[in-house]
Structure 1
Amino acid sequence: MEHKKVTIYDLAREAGVSTATVSRVIAGNYPVSQGTREKVQQIIDHYNYHPNALARTLSNKKSKLIGFITPAITNPFFSQVFVEVEKSALEKGYSVLLGNSLNDREIEARYIRMLLEQQAEGIILLGGLINDSNPDLERVQELIAIQKRTKLVMINGSVEGMGNCSISTDEAAGMRLIIDHLVRQGHRKIGLIGGVKGITTTDIKVSTFKAELKKHQLIFRKSWQCYSEYSIEGGEDGFKQLMSLNKEVPTALIGINDMVGVGMIKASKRYPNQHFAFVGFDDTSLAQTSSPELTSVRHPYEELGKRAIEMMEANAKAQHVMLAPSLVVKESTVKSINRV
């Protein structure tokens, strides 16, 4: 026999035993006579045989594989969460397969099929469908069907009626931290840029923003709240839109995420005579490398990753955990500001 082609059937034939006996010797936790065990083990060692991982999965129902599906790994928030999930998974002996769906439903479905075929012990979802305020019912039914075959854990999102585990950062609390900070800095004119209406994370931030302005007896101006996606380009476009629509502009601007915050800072450089305080959301590497460094709400990334894996291992079918964020204050709100 050639070493590269040896199979469990070849080993059984040479040892004169059944494939079940060879499997018991490999597993090491089933009774096999000492003589037979030694004979089979010698043949295994001779051919340097390693059992097929999928075959082991089928026999013991444990693949130690977890899927992680997100629509845009280029989003630094998504990538930072993935890093922490992977760290925690590796510590527990799992492998993580990353599925970057590129916001494409077919690509997402392909990854899910692949994970189910490989007997993945669970799938973690971040972004996409689980952030829709009114998710497509057909896709919800697809998720329910998937959940009957493997465990689903959702990060920073949920789907009503799913009854699965989810973990989120309290983004409403994050927005409250921002408004409190800006008010203490003396700002009375505050705007919010970015996001897409109908996405839960955006809807939560916008509704909390309005409520906090009211609580602090500040005026909400519709033209100071602009939807403009989640990218750096979206931040630039939203800032330009605000400047074109208003004779009077805010002294402080909140970006729906760090990418939008950086885009606003970039666009503001075209207005050297007007100065603003800027705040982002997520405290990713962008917030730390922008100029000025961007004050931002930070997710408890390590805890998100750790708890997501714990949920994957837990027997509980439905559990939701909400984690507290923090505000990391940097240059963009503490420098001297000319209030217009």
Structure 2
Amino acid sequence: MDLPKDQKELLSNLETLIEKTYEIEKEFIELKNILNGVIEFLPQALWVKDGSGEIIAQNSKSKKFKTIPNIGEIEIDNRVYLIQSSIIKDKTIISATDITEQKRNERLIAMGQMAAHLAHEIRNPIGSISILISLLKKQCPNSELLDEMKSSVFRIERIIKSTLLFSKGLKPKIRSFLLSELKNELEISIKYYSYSKEINFLFFMPDMEIKADFDLLLLVLQNMLFNAIDAIEEDETEEGLIEILYESTDNYHVINIYDNGKEFENEDILFEPFKSTKTKGNGLGLALSLEIINAHNGKIEVSKQKKGFKIYLPKACDD
């Protein structure tokens, strides 16, 4: 039975309305998915609450929080977050931004400035003490007490030098030299460093020419060497072994530093400035070493074969 004309028009309009409704619903779902994608893409944890306080949207980064945190700075699992909120009509948007690195950098700048000031204050009197020890040593050449004092002053001078380098920044002065020159300087440094155990030192640093900043690279190897000595001193082993061995790859000069001392307690903070698990540590040696090697476009890795480090210096510097 044919429907009246007005009913046909009504039915046609209804079908058109239903189709438009489906299209609008489809577009709404697409827009919602895009919005969820944008929310998920954001680096912050994000919550959206309606007027009743119900959460109507959130991203996966928010799942690490048990509850929505209060506004301000909070610390969770050694990470610092800045919590902020904004109200748009009847919706409340809350975000949590990880500012751990920003806080770390602020802390390091403050600590670096303080350490540099202290280093400057200590530098002059330590220089005078060093001169007096040298004069006394001429009068009492066999004094063990003076030898111990000289070793202590040598350690303080190294800390001062490291502190000032760390706070001022690095500009390597590249020149050619032989690896064996570094070996000779390291052997001299050992004589100034006090330790009580029997330690064997094995060097393989041939008469091979490389290009780098000699003084800075020596400081890196001294830091590694003295760390190895300290690790052996803190370990239960009666006899220590430290190896500093050179090897060559296609693209890198590699210097390996191994020891049989105490294992690393926490590899995550090895290169963190002002953090140390050593009894004698000041937390600057490895952090500065990493900066020095980075300034040479190289890298430092924790060895996977034996306890120690691998230093990579690019051969491109030799060209």
- TM-score of the alignment, normalized to the shorter chain, above 0.5: no
Structure with bigger strand share is 2
Larger Rg: 2
TM-score normalised over the length of structure 1: 0.24
TM-score normalised over the length of structure 2: 0.25
